[in-house]
Amino acid sequence: MTPDTILHLEKLALAAWPAQETAHVHGWALRAAQGFTKRANSANALAPEGDFTALRAAAEAFYRARGLPPVFRLTPLAPPEADAALAAAGYQEADPSRVMTAAARADSPPEVHVDEAVADGWLDGFAAANGVAGALRPLHDGMVRRIEGRTGFATLRRDGRALGYGLAVCAEGWVGLFDLVIASEARGQRLGRRLVDGLTAWGAAHGADRAYLQVRDGNMAARRLYVRCGFSDAYAYRYRMGPPRALSEKCDALFGLKSA
């Protein structure tokens, strides 16, 4: 995948999971959202310029001012020296992940219903299925409500029961899939594929011909599912989290919620 395409997907994905605030420094996006998810609380390379040492100092000051540990999300857009410099400074590697892409499918399974407005009931089910603690619901719900692009909020039902949730954001010919989850008691019934097909079909109906998603390397079940759905690896990324002395129990608990 070309650097231009990676940059395009990175911008789409950052917009699809919005931080509360973003500062653009030396070609990096420094994002913060009170520690809720690494995606929204990390430094992301877009068009890096200048010396990485200066960027690192600016990022550390940015996160220190907000009571957060500095976190860098390292994609192929990050300068080659960034990973080595962070490792030498004691930053811990976390959550190696990958972006996968596929052609958007046109047929939606009847079990999957996609709304384009988020309802309180959907947020309740989505948060419960994803294990979002009650104290974090305001942060979680606020982030979902801040998504500005055309968004699909999917529910998979069987026999009147909601067994799966996911959301998708459609923009510029791409549909991004996020936080797909099937209830534990319903796994192994091929419902995950139906949820993926339903969301990509929704995207195709709104002009998307390609789909993308993010998945942790260690989530082998999800990766196998996505391959069966026609997805293939596009590029890899991972996080580097601030030295142990910079991590608090509070931030560790928040960041542990969702990572990719």
Residues 127 and 57 reside in one and the same domain:
no
Integer Rg of the chain from CA: 18
Q: What's the token pair of residue 173? A: 């010919």
Q: What letters, b where the CB count within 10 A reaches 16 and e where it falls short, cover 194-210?
A: bbbbbbbbbbbeeebeb
CATH number, domain of 151, equals: 3.40.630.30
Q: According to the model, what pLDDT value does residue 159 have?
A: 86
Residues 201 and 244 reside in one and the same domain:
no
Asked, for residue 230, whether it belongs to a domain, the answer is no
Asked, for residue 217, whether it belongs to a domain, the answer is no
pLDDT tens for the 260 residues of the chain, in order: 999 999 999 999 999 999 999 999 999 999 999 998 899 999 999 999 999 999 999 999 999 999 999 999 999 999 999 999 999 999 999 999 999 999 998 888 899 999 999 888 899 988 888 888 888 899 889 889 999 889 999 999 988 889 999 999 999 999 999 999 988 777 777 889 999 999 999 999 999 999 999 999 999 999 999 999 999 999 999 999 987 544 444 444 444 444 45
Asked, for residue 50, whether it belongs to a domain, the answer is yes
Contact predicate 245/70, CB 8 Å: no
Instruction: Indicate whether this model's pTM tops 0.95.
Output: no
Contact predicate 93/238, CB 8 Å: yes
Pairing between β-strand 28-32 and β-strand 21-25 as defined by DSSP bridges: antiparallel
Residues 174 and 243 reside in one and the same domain:
no
Q: According to the model, what pLDDT value does residue 160 have?
A: 86
Residue count of the chain: 260
Q: What's the token pair of residue 197? A: 């097909």
**Structural domain containing residue 86:** 3-98+236-255
Residues 80 and 47 reside in one and the same domain:
yes
Residues 109 and 199 reside in one and the same domain:
yes
Residues 93 and 171 reside in one and the same domain:
no
Residues 117 and 23 reside in one and the same domain:
no
Q: According to the model, what pLDDT value does residue 171 have?
A: 95
Q: Would you tell me how many other CB atoms lie within 10 Å of the CB of residue 29?
A: 18
Residues 77 and 153 reside in one and the same domain:
no
Residues 180 and 201 reside in one and the same domain:
yes
Asked, for residue 220, whether it belongs to a domain, the answer is no
Residues 51 and 109 reside in one and the same domain:
no
Asked, for residue 68, whether it belongs to a domain, the answer is yes
Pairing between β-strand 174-182 and β-strand 210-216 as defined by DSSP bridges: parallel
What is the total count of domains within the chain? 2
Q: According to the model, what pLDDT value does residue 257 have?
A: 41
Residues 50 and 118 reside in one and the same domain:
no
Asked, for residue 113, whether it belongs to a domain, the answer is yes
Q: According to the model, what pLDDT value does residue 248 have?
A: 44
Return the residue matching tokens 């990324």. 237
Asked, for residue 223, whether it belongs to a domain, the answer is no
Residues 88 and 170 reside in one and the same domain:
no
